[in-house]
Amino acid sequence: MGEIFFLIILAAAGVGMFGMSFGFQVSRIDSSGGPALFPRIVIIILLLFIAIRIVMVSKSSEELGKKFHFLEIFQGSRLIFLLLFLGYALLMKPLGFVISSSLFLIIAVTFLHKKQYGERITVKKGLILYPVILISVAVLYYIFVNKLNVLLPGGIINF
Per-residue pLDDT of the chain (159 residues; tens, 9 = 90+): 788 888 999 999 999 999 998 888 777 777 777 778 889 999 999 999 999 999 999 998 888 888 877 777 788 888 999 999 999 999 999 999 999 999 999 999 999 999 999 999 999 999 999 999 999 999 999 998 888 888 888 888 776
Amino acid 66: pLDDT = 82
CB 33 within 8 A of CB 23: no
Helix (H) or strand (E) holding 20: helix 2-20
What is the pLDDT, as a whole number, of residue 141?
93
Mapped onto helix, strand or coil, the DSSP state of residue 19 is helix
Specify whether the CB–CB gap between 64 and 1 falls below 8 A. yes
Q: What is the distance between the alpha carbons of residues 123 and 125, in angstroms, rounded to a whole number? A: 6
Three-class SS state of 67: coil
Question: 157: part of which helix (H) or strand (E)?
Answer: none
Residue 159: per-residue pLDDT:
61
Give the number of C-alpha atoms closer than 13 A to the C-alpha of residue 37, restricted to the C-beta side: 7
pTM of the predicted model as reported, rounded to 2 decimal places:
0.67
* CA pair distance 56, 49, nearest whole angstrom: 10
Q: What is the Cα–Cα distance from 32 to 18, expressed in whole angstroms?
A: 18
